[in-house]
Homo-oligomer: A and B are copies of this chain.
Amino acid sequence: MAKSLPRSPLAPATFPDLPVIGGVRFAAAAAGVKYQGRTDVMLAVMDPGTAVAGVFTRSATRSAPVLDCQAKLGGDPGQGAAILVNSGNSNAFTGHYGQTSVAEITAAVAQRTGLRQERVFTASTGVIGEPLPHDRIVTKLDDLHGALSDTALQQAAEAIMTTDTFAKGASATVEIDGVPVQIAGIAKGSGMIAPDMATMLVYIFTDAIYDQAKLQALLSAENDTSFNCITVDSDTSTSDSLMLCATGASGVDATDHPAFATALRGVMLDLAHQVVRDGEGATKFVEIQITGAASDADAKVHGLAIANSPLVKTAIAGEDPNWGRVVMAIGKSGAKADRDLLSISFGDIRVAEKGWVAPSYKEELGAAEMKKDEITLKVDLGLGDGSATVWTCDLTHQYITINADYRS
């Protein structure tokens, strides 16, 4: 169970101070969906004029809430919007009953908030294949609606945790036309994390004005090099949801503004890295930088092959500078590689080059690098200009303990 897991050693010291985002309010409640003694439902309600964008799992067995959200993207921003998320039960592989649960919840939220049902989005995360006790959620809606507050984003982040050992939040402020625009987001995720896609739940809010179609394009593009570049265990969730809501409360139109995109990317990367830092059982945060690949796509394939290799991940857990396993992972990835052009570094230590161990390399240098909490693996293919960076964690006994014993 989530509550008994020790906080990840890679966690940030505290939850960040998040700015108020005008035009959106939050509330959390304990509905007892599955967990006892903690909050497990969060509601976000956004003012009319809010543009909503989303990216969802590509799983062929995706959950009822995901299918419902996908159908609702592109709706009229004039209506305002709401997001309701529960933890403890994913409402995935629950047949027609799953669709009924979504319909019941969205209808009830629409009725309480005065929003149209087609602007009410939901997500569910937790066990697969058990019916969602949606009545427990519906009966909490009056409480939730009454508690809505523009400062409750941290409580929302806490309510959506499952095996997470810490709540995840990030924010940025960007000045556009002399006016500060705020971006703040929350995320949950620690297992079943792999592209495609973000493999977690992520909700980001901004008070910028943003054209809804362009907001969708921006979110999809930034997702490719942030949430789609992290992996914990190569398993893709049935519930992955990433949503970005622009309320417009700042009065500033950020559409196509590069500074906004940069700030948004910073928030997305921060949240993505926090998910890796909370990877089930993680003790090392690993950045894998691939350069010199035949293409960017090839670079990402190599990076993810290394990041997903159990033998690489266990070597990192054992603080073993076992670069031979990195060579193995490159070899198996399917993307272009030439053994004799490869070079590999651990941090700034050149380990291998020209098809063999680097002449300057000494085992004790690699071993010292591997003792760090944050490790950078650099691979240059020597073939072209393709590059990618991906992030992962190590594979430890604690991952086995969590997943052999916990039904998530």
Interface residues of A (CB under 8 A from B): 57, 59-62, 90, 92-98, 127-130, 191-192, 194, 233-238, 308-311, 314-315, 317-318, 320, 322-325, 327-333, 336-340, 342, 352, 354-357, 395-397, 399-401, 403-405, 407-408
A236 touching B310 in the complex, CB below 8 Å, given contacts A61-B327, A93-B339, A315-B403: no
Q: Let me know if A322 and B93 touch, CB within 8 A.
A: no
- Bound-state CA distance A352–B94 (Å) is 10
Residues of B within 8 A of A322 (CB): 407
Residues of B within 8 A of A314 (CB): 399-400, 403-404
A97 touching B328 in the complex, CB below 8 Å, given contacts A235-B311, A407-B322: no
Instruction: Report the minimal beta-carbon distance from A235 to chain B, rounded to whole angstroms.
Output: 5
Q: How many copies of this protein are present in the complex? A: 2
Q: Which residue of B lies closest to A128 (CB)?
A: B324
14 further A-B contacts with Cβ under 8 Å, apart from A62-B331, A93-B356, A127-B324, are A61-B337, A61-B342, A90-B324, A93-B339, A93-B352, A129-B327, A129-B352, A130-B357, A192-B328, A235-B328, A238-B328, A310-B399, A314-B399, A397-B397
A61 touching B310 in the complex, CB below 8 Å, given contacts A93-B352, A396-B400: no
- Bound-state CA distance A152–B292 (Å) is 49
- Bound-state CA distance A328–B62 (Å) is 8
**Main secondary structure on chain A at its contact with chain B?**
loop
- Bound-state CA distance A322–B127 (Å) is 9
Q: Let me know if B92 and A405 touch, CB within 8 A.
A: no
Residues of B within 8 A of A340 (CB): 95
Of A98, A191, A238, most buried by chain B (CB within 10 Å of CB) is A238
Q: Let me know if B128 and A325 touch, CB within 8 A.
A: yes
Residues of B within 8 A of A395 (CB): 310, 400
Q: Let me know if A59 and B331 touch, CB within 8 A.
A: yes
- Bound-state CA distance A403–B309 (Å) is 12
Q: Let me know if B331 and A238 touch, CB within 8 A.
A: yes
Of A357, A403, A405, most buried by chain B (CB within 10 Å of CB) is A403
Between-chain CB contacts (< 8 Å), 16 pairs:
A57-B331, A60-B338, A60-B339, A62-B339, A93-B352, A98-B356, A128-B325, A128-B327, A129-B357, A233-B310, A234-B309, A236-B328, A317-B404, A318-B403, A318-B405, A399-B400
Instruction: Report the minimal beta-carbon distance from A98 to chain B, rounded to whole angstroms.
Output: 8
Residues of B within 8 A of A90 (CB): 324
Residues of B within 8 A of A98 (CB): 356
Q: Let me know if B235 and A332 touch, CB within 8 A.
A: yes
Task: For A404, give its contact among B93, B94, B238, B315 (CB under 8 Å).
Answer: B315
Instruction: Report the minimal beta-carbon distance from A363 to chain B, rounded to whole angstroms.
Output: 10
- Bound-state CA distance A355–B338 (Å) is 45
Q: Let me know if A234 and B60 touch, CB within 8 A.
A: no
- Bound-state CA distance A374–B401 (Å) is 21
- Bound-state CA distance A245–B327 (Å) is 31
Residues of B within 8 A of A342 (CB): 61
- Bound-state CA distance A98–B339 (Å) is 12
Q: Which residue of B lies closest to A281 (CB)?
A: B400
Q: Which residue of B lies closest to A381 (CB)?
A: B60
